[in-house]
């Protein structure tokens, strides 16, 4: 009888031990599932977006360029201004060109006042649409730019670009020279600019953004 009782106690101990092991396994399984649900899962989309912001790429906002003067020589000055019918009498007088007893209203600005043949440069990025040699005006270069802006560089002694060239702002397109149109001015540049086919005063556009020209 005592032997049977001891046997039953042993079985109870085994059952209880198995019960504790089973409860431990269930608790571990429940704990693991709860931990996984709390921890965020990094999927492919999340990783891709993270790389986009961490790849070191700098995003640049494009801004319109500021229009520069058609020369870099600081000693160059205005010899003949643009004729503006709204200007005062003295300004208008300085904007008249006398050619063989004929008075002509200047549609551009004549730059010069230096002895050497100073470099002439493009005021903006653009495409060279015309290069020609005129007996009266010397060598002439015409460039088309954005926003319907066209520039013409006249009285050049030499040209370093050719038709259909795509050039950048500041590209040297030639050198100023003399012409038969204004012989007494020496080395000079007659610079003209049109907006949508209409002449405008070059002095009104320098140091301004292209989008400000109207």
The domain made up of 77-212 is a member of CATH 1.20.120.1200: no
Which pLDDT tens digit goes with each residue over 82-112? 999 989 999 999 999 888 878 899 999 999 9
For 214, other C-beta atoms within 10 Å of its C-beta total: 7
Sequence-separated (6 or more) residues with CB below 8 Å from residue 172: 119, 120, 121, 160
Sequence-separated (6 or more) residues with CB below 8 Å from residue 125: 65, 145, 146, 166, 167, 168, 169
Mean pLDDT of 175-192: 92
Looking at residue 6, its pLDDT comes to 57
Which pLDDT tens digit goes with each residue over 126-157? 999 999 999 999 999 999 999 999 999 999 99
Q: What is the pTM of this model?
A: 0.71
Which pLDDT tens digit goes with each residue over 47-78? 444 454 455 555 555 677 899 999 999 999 99
Looking at residue 24, its pLDDT comes to 62
SS (HEC) of 155-170: EEEEECCCCCCEECCC
Looking at residue 52, its pLDDT comes to 46
The C-alpha atoms of residue 97 and residue 102 are separated, in whole angstroms, by 8
Mean pLDDT of 208-214: 90
Looking at residue 214, its pLDDT comes to 82
């Amino acid at each position: 009888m005592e032997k049977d009782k001891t046997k039953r106690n042993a079985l109870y101990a085994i059952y209880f031990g198995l019960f504790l092991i089973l409860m431990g396994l269930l608790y571990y399984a429940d704990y693991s599932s709860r931990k996984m649900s709390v921890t965020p899962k990094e999927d492919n989309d999340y990783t891709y977006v993270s790389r986009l912001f961490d790849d070191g790429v700098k995003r640049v906002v494009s801004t319109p360029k500021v229009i520069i003067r058609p020369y870099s020589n600081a000693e160059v000055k205005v010899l003949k201004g643009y004729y503006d019918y709204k200007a005062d009498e003295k300004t208008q007088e300085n904007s008249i060109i006398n050619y063989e007893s004929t008075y002509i209203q200047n549609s551009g600005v004549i730059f010069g006042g230096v002895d050497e043949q100073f470099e002439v440069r493009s005021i903006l990025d653009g495409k060279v649409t015309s290069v020609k040699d005129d007996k009266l005006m010397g060598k002439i270069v015409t460039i088309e730019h954005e926003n319907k802006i066209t520039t013409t560089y006249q009285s050049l002694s030499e040209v370093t670009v050719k038709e259909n060239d795509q050039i950048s702002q500041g590209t040297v397109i030639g050198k100023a020279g003399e012409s038969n149109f204004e012989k007494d001015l020496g080395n000079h540049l007659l610079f003209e600019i049109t907006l949508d086919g209409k002449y405008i005063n070059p002095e009104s556009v320098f140091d301004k953004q292209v989008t400000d020209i109207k």
